[in-house]
Chain A
Amino acid sequence: MSNRMRAWLIATPATLLVTIFLVLPVLATFATTFGDPKGPFATYSAFFNSRFRTTVLWRTMEVALVTTFISVAIGFVTAWVVARMPSHLKSLLIIAAVFPLLTGVVVRSFAWLVILGKNGVLNNFLLSIGVIAEPLSMLYTQGSVIVAMVYLFVPLMILTLVGVLEGIPQDLTDAAASLGATPTAAFRQVVLPMAVPGLIVGAVLVFTGSFTSYATPQLLGGEGQMMMGTFLYQRAMVTFDWVGASTIAAVMVVVTLATVLTMSRVARKLNPMAG
């Protein structure tokens, strides 16, 4: 048996699983969106001509972008400090970041239900110190969804960036400093360019993760803050409009793939190590 045949033979079961249960069903979903008697793109023009549907799309984009920016900012600063800690403290902090990451989305979203609720932890605290007289309505707003999403994705950002920032040799910043660069200049001209590819990878993970999320907008956003994931579920399982749901699915796939492909190209271009 030739090596080529042997290689294909042992890779076949996994390839078949992905082909039969992912590629074909997803293509079938796409196919149903082009079957409208009014023309192949009728479902898409209906989608983009509907005020309600485009509102959901833009809201989802907005929530995902805001979540990404906040997570990148918090994650970068924290990873920068963690990467410079002595090793025992560093492992402890990494454990503290991994723990929430491995805890389920439902559990982590639920925590914010308890914190932000009408009789929640935050309202009780603010009432007791007298900052507010009436409990605030914080749940089921765009803000509550964003807070919970930042909570979901900051650990991912920290872990991605700690690895990247540790890989930047201290010698380089030392060299920059010895040549007269201020710490700010050394950071901007040496550290940042080397960290950009990692930042982009992390940002893409956060953006696509929040753009396609379901449990968090379901629990913390409710009907009024519907996002693409909850919208897809509602169309498919509540109103049984499978063609409409398939159109939402196709839009989600296009946005996700376009983001991943464009940003990985940008990351490759900006990578100073690749030359």
Chain B
Amino acid sequence: MKNRIHPVLIVITVLTFLFLLGPLVVIIGSALSDTSYLTFPPQGLTLHWFSNIFEVSAFTRTMGTSFMLAIGGTTISMLIGIPAAYALARYRIELPAFLGNVFVLPILIPEIVLGFSLMKSLASGFGLPIFIALLIGHALIVLPYTVRVVGASLNSFDFSIEEAAVSLGCTRIKAFFVVVIPNIRAGIIAGFILAFITSLNDVSISIFLTGPGVSTLPIQLLAHMEQFFDPTIASVSVLLMGVTVAVMAVVERTLGLTFLTK
């Protein structure tokens, strides 16, 4: 017996999805407009604004910084987050219960507060180079994603397989790499990707830690928007949407997107 859905609810749902996707269509359209100002629907079509991205050195430079930060920060958080997730799942009795909450702190504490505090202590207090401070900040804010997503994979992993390898003479370290890692591969890939995209899009941490010469793409976009209003911003936005599409394709192939509703 299938319940009928009330037509009013269907109408609301259709409107919601128009609301969600419409603005993205506006961005794509205005990126293609053959005018020197942002407008939609586009008047005349051109790809000029996409090539213009690479003419503006501030965009290419910050794009490079953003990708390096996202890869570096995510890698650091993976290198320390996977062991942490493993410890939490494998040694549930040996570790205090609050430890799991410690790794959630970076999403519990408002990011803008964290950015301000890091700026005061790292960049200003210890005089750390800007890029290093940014790297630490990004590793920190993506840590909850890596610990949680890898942890979800580990919770469905049967640790007796690992014990079997050890009892057959495998060292613990080798068992971790040969038995555990291959079994939680999907979680590692998904965690990496979620962390990567979070870092790439970050504003609240980076806004405090960028300085003379070093900035990230979202911060550069914000600064550009406050001064100019040409379609280049829209074309950079479309480029970033392209990264999102690529990321979704990878998640779909490794875990299936329904994973995100769990």
Contacts and interface: CB of A to CB of B under 8 A. Distances in A.
Interface of A: 3-4, 6-8, 10-11, 13-15, 17-19, 21-26, 28-29, 74, 77-78, 80-82, 84, 91, 93-100, 102-108, 110-115, 119, 121, 151, 154-155, 158-160, 162-163, 166, 173-174, 177, 183, 208, 211-212, 214-215, 218-219, 229, 232-233, 236-237, 242, 245-246, 249, 252-253, 256-257, 260
Given A18-B102, A22-B105, A159 B261 contact: yes
B103 A18 contact: yes
B69 interface: no
A24 B23 contact: no
A17 B112 contact: no
Interface residues of B, number: 83
A106 B13 contact: no
B177 interface: no
Contacts of B102: 15, 18-19
Nearest to A93: B17
Contact of B110 (A110, A114, A252): A252
Contact of A29 (B103, B111, B113): B113
Interface stretch (B45-53, B79-87, B161-169): B79-87
Main secondary structure of the interface of A (DSSP, over half): helix
A15 B106 CA distance: 12
A107 B79 CA distance: 30
A248 to B, nearest CB: 9
Contact of B112 (A4, A102, A229, A242): A229
Nearest to A158: B16
Residue picked from A24, A28, A106, A249, most chain B C-beta under 10 Å: A106
B154 interface: no
A74 B203 CA distance: 27
Interface of B: 1, 3, 5, 9-10, 12-13, 16-17, 19-21, 23-24, 26-27, 30, 37-40, 79-81, 83-84, 86-88, 90-91, 94-95, 99, 102-103, 105-106, 108-114, 116-122, 136-137, 139-140, 143, 147, 197, 200-201, 203-204, 207-208, 218, 221-222, 225, 233-234, 237, 240-241, 244-245, 247-248, 257-258, 260-262
